[in-house]
Amino acid sequence: MMNMIGEYKINRTTRRCSVGNRPLLPGEYYYSVVSGDDEEFRRVDIAADAWTGPPDGCIGHWKNRVPLPEEKKRELAPPEVLIDLLRSMADQPAMSKMRYLLALMLLRKRHLKPYEDATLIRSEPEAKDQPAADDEAVPGRDRLQLESNIDGSILTIEVADIASTEAESLQEQLVDLLYREVE
């Protein structure tokens, strides 16, 4: 089975709570929610005090915080460093979910692109008495084949199942890993 990863436009934060129709204040936590269909996506922001959980039919959601004026700005690591980090995570099974999120981020930032037409590879489950080698993909897991726009290399990334209960923690870890403070 093959699916194509299309290009979708999702608007930036409006810094307004869509439930209370009020501005989000510096330091305030809020949730961003993406919903839509195959043709069009829309993002809304909901203040934490108005959050009742993800709405029905949402595609994804994440927690954010409006920065304080005195906070230092954060800068994303250079793309070459991020691609190298993605490669190094391949040997660390404990980092598979973080690696998947990093790959999605690099796709969104256009440092990676789908490799030719085969962007999703459906793995066939192996017999239970034949475990996969440590460096092989987990049987039965989908994998993405992505090409680096930096050096043209091909990366195979396992699609990870991420529970809503672990998404916030993974997001915080990824931000801490990839961003640095700048003056």
Residue 140 to residues 2, 32, 124, 158, 160: CA-CA distances in angstroms? 15, 31, 5, 10, 12
Q: Which residue has the higher pLDDT, 25 or 10?
A: 25
> Does residue 143 contact residue 156 with C-beta atoms inside 8 Å?
yes
**Which residue has 């993002």 as its token pair?**
43
DSSP at 160: -
179: pLDDT confidence band, cut at 50, 70 and 90? confident
Distance CA 105, CA 109 (A): 6
How confident is the model over 15-41, as a mean pLDDT?
89
Residue 48 has pLDDT above 70, yes or no: yes
Q: Does residue 46 surpass a pLDDT of 60? A: yes
Q: How many Cβ atoms from other residues are within 10 Å of residue 155's Cβ?
A: 19
pLDDT at 126 over 70: no
pLDDT of residue 130: 41
List Cβ neighbours of 135 (8 Å cut-off, separation of 6 or more): 91
Please tell me the predicted confidence (pLDDT) of residue 139.
Answer: 55
pLDDT-derived band of residue 135, with 50, 70 and 90 as boundaries? very low
Residue 8 falls in which region: left (phi positive, over 0), alpha (psi -120 to 50) or beta: beta
43, 18 contact by CB (below 8 A): no
Buried b (16+ CB within 10 A) or exposed e, 92-103: eeebbbbbbbbb
SS3 category, 176: helix
**Angle at CA 62, nearest 5°, toward 83 and 154?**
20
Return the pLDDT at 25: 96
User: What's the chain's average pLDDT?
Assistant: 80
Of 1-10, 20-29, 31-40, 94-103, where does mean pLDDT reach its minimum?
A: 1-10
